[in-house]
Amino acid sequence: TAGSAGMGFGPIIMNASFNSFRHNVYRDAMIISLMDTFTSLLAGFTIFSILGNLAFQLDVDVSHVAKTGPGLAFISYPMAVSQFTFFPQLFSVL
């Protein structure tokens, strides 16, 4: 999760500059780390469940459905959302 926390390192420093001198930075660091971990786990479960479902629907191995790199999230997820029968536009916005 260090890579995903690195994306927001600038705003973290900017927000920290507004804290008082006696602010509990350990609590804030713990909250940021836990939220970053939760977000990474949620994204992983979402992407890999979508890949498993697509592999099941196409009756192929997961290795044939999965693309490496950004294709996991930016190709597989829109493909899965486009197959929804109930408001695919709503789920694409969410």
CB contact at 8 A, 51 and 77: no
CA distance 19 to 42: 30
CB contact at 8 A, 58 and 83: no
DSSP assigned state of 17: T
Annotated binding-site residue? 82: no
CA distance 56 to 62: 8
Annotated binding-site ranges for Na(+): 4
Annotated binding-site ranges: 4
